[in-house]
Structure 1
């Protein structure tokens, strides 16, 4: 196949059908974050745009003979390192202290979304290689400091390492479904003391409240208005400025309601808290949470326990509840390695970062091993 690689600056320049055919091909696990509906909503709402430091520069690989799209690489020209969940601020400081210009940089990631998934969107190895080489070429052609690929699957991470990118690890806490038929089946895998603690925690969190799990046609604009108020309140406390606007969530409601699970808590006066999840074919992805009226342990109930309930009911393999969170461990979320890959064309800078990453990978592996000893499961698990 003879390939043509070109760049587009808005996902609206390509059809939904063409993009989704390579982003979520038949037979592959469905990833809602890779869909045209999700990524284009970020762009058209202004959340992922040049003005916010997320300039879309997506690469497309097309069959030169037919013009058919055979691969794609989500790509952004980043003016900062916010909303990425893989922290390279120290690298930026070091590079600029030495006289370089770290920003803008190139980034392959799902904006504001620390979920593992496909990143080089092509089934044919030659197309994958061509897209990776094209991204490296852009770095050189534009005189950029770096290209970063965040949260790729492990096989792709290894392949990127073989292509000359530096490999980095971090930790997330992920719940795995061992074929449970109910939440009680899951609790049976825990030690007696931990099992009792979680039952007590759930009862206390829900006292005086009604918990609703909403998706599809059950969702209304009122639900989204309440969720957005919760998101803004909690986002302002955690990050200063929430990343996403109301228009983005309106587009998600319009396009992807069946891919959304919104877990909400209300008392007699109305809703007081909400947690937003996205539903894949194999996983539930917890994304945003907010609360308007403080309630002990309600975060754990809406974000973690209810996510497990849904995953068991719908036979999903795992729950990815986002970044951070050793507090997830007592709720059955185990530490697992997650990955990123980094192309740094400046050889001396790359050598220094590579030495650091080699030590960091060893430390991460040891930390995962140590954390496993603190899990609430019975010793044989």
Structure 2
């Protein structure tokens, strides 16, 4: 099958109907509405090191595949850390940037990257893209091409196409037919169950109330409060106001409200903390958190326990609470592997990185075995 590829500098060049006809609207982060909001709000621009460079695959002038991609001039906002690779290039008098990156900006959530029409041969489209990306990277003077947070089987397919595979840890919750939150707690050992119940009790004893709002239930005032908290979180962690402008969230509220779930914590009538999640038919994705006042255990309640309760109530089987956070394990989030794939144009660096990735994979496998032993669930006849 002949596949023709082009690279577009704005998702609007393809349009919402053409893009969503291939990417669909189920997974929120490849929706046209999400990616367009990043561009029109100014969150991703060439000046900010995120130049849109999306892949469009065609057959006989008909779009059969799309993949969000960017020309990057730094490695911020990716969550698959390659700073050491960039440093090695610099030490040898080479430039690691620009690079090509197929990813969802600022979003370390596993999901589709190369989206292919149901009527097209997926393997043929992937083979065409895998062949084109290295040549395209060289033509642009880019050091490399990367595909981040693919599903395991897709990552393996990229590996078979010559893209090195890298793994990393995250911590996800899965519904094991718990029924409700008490059923979830019943799966814990007695000591761990008491600890979690104490955390939730302390939150209530501090006079805190929590409310879950979905889509159009979120008021303009609550959006303003959320953005204030979002900026406070980044100011504390990174010394800046965050990667995403207020206009980005306003556009999401207007165009894909059905994917948005907000948890607001209040003390009396005053909101004090907030978490914003995304959802699809099967998964809740925890994304942003912030507070104006610190309360004991409030982060766990707002970001984890309320999300689990929501999943159980709404029939969502999976809760991805975001990157990092080993403290999630003792609260019932299972250590899992995430997957990315990488091509480096320089043969010597590619060989060195391949050795590094093999060693890293062994260390992470050992870590996951040890981390899984920290899960709070009952064992044997407990």
With the length of structure 1 as denominator, give the TM-score of the two structures.
0.96
The equivalent of 1:229 in structure 2 is 228
- What do the CA deviations read for 1:336-357 (whole angstroms, capped 9, x no partner)? 0001111001110000110010
- What do the CA deviations read for 1:70-121 (whole angstroms, capped 9, x no partner)? 0012110001000000110000000111111111111000000000011111
Q: CA RMSD in A?
A: 1.3
The equivalent of 1:259 in structure 2 is 259
Q: Does 1:68 align with 2:62?
A: yes
State how far apart, in whole Å, the 2-side matches of 1:327 and 1:106 are.
Answer: 33
State how far apart, in whole Å, the 1-side matches of 2:81 and 2:136 are.
Answer: 23
Contact 1:179 1:315 in 2 (8 A): no
State how far apart, in whole Å, the 2-side matches of 1:2 and 1:356 are.
Answer: 36
The equivalent of 1:201 in structure 2 is 199
For 1:149, what is the secondary structure of its paired residue?
strand
Unaligned runs of 5+ in 2: none
Displacement after TM superposition at 1:68 (Å): 2.0
Contact 1:73 1:131 in 2 (8 A): no
Change over 3 Å in CA distance of 1:206–1:135 after alignment to 2 = farther
Displacement after TM superposition at 1:4 (Å): 2.0
Residue among 128, 141, 153 paired with 1:143: 141
Contact 1:219 1:257 in 2 (8 A): no
- What do the CA deviations read for 1:154-181 (whole angstroms, capped 9, x no partner)? 0111111111111111000000111221
Displacement after TM superposition at 1:303 (Å): 0.4
Contact 2:98 2:141 in 1 (8 A): no
Residue among 47, 51, 66 paired with 2:47: 51
State how far apart, in whole Å, the 2-side matches of 1:142 and 1:284 are.
Answer: 37
Displacement after TM superposition at 1:23 (Å): 1.3
For 2:115, what is the secondary structure of its paired residue?
coil
The equivalent of 2:75 in structure 1 is 81
The equivalent of 1:153 in structure 2 is 151
Contact 2:19 2:32 in 1 (8 A): yes
Displacement after TM superposition at 1:315 (Å): 1.2
Displacement after TM superposition at 1:269 (Å): 4.5
For 1:52, what is the secondary structure of its paired residue?
coil
Q: Does 1:364 align with 2:364?
A: yes
The equivalent of 1:310 in structure 2 is 310
Q: How many residues align?
A: 375
The equivalent of 1:288 in structure 2 is 288
The equivalent of 2:210 in structure 1 is 211
State how far apart, in whole Å, the 2-side matches of 1:189 and 1:268 are.
Answer: 34
The 5 Å alignment of 1:111-130 reads: 111-122=105-116, 123=118, 124-130=122-128
State how far apart, in whole Å, the 1-side matches of 2:67 and 2:133 are.
Answer: 8
State how far apart, in whole Å, the 2-side matches of 1:114 and 1:277 are.
Answer: 13
State how far apart, in whole Å, the 1-side matches of 2:77 and 2:203 are.
Answer: 30
Residue among 162, 165, 169 paired with 2:163: 165
Displacement after TM superposition at 1:5 (Å): 1.1
For 2:255, what is the secondary structure of its paired residue?
helix
Displacement after TM superposition at 1:2 (Å): 3.1
Unaligned runs of 5+ in 1: none
For 2:127, what is the secondary structure of its paired residue?
helix
The 5 Å alignment of 1:315-326 reads: 315-326=315-326
For 1:265, what is the secondary structure of its paired residue?
strand
Displacement after TM superposition at 1:17 (Å): 2.0
The equivalent of 1:336 in structure 2 is 336
Displacement after TM superposition at 1:132 (Å): 2.2
State how far apart, in whole Å, the 1-side matches of 2:286 and 2:225 are.
Answer: 18
For 1:330, what is the secondary structure of its paired residue?
helix
For 2:75, what is the secondary structure of its paired residue?
coil
The equivalent of 1:38 in structure 2 is 34
Contact 2:232 2:291 in 1 (8 A): yes
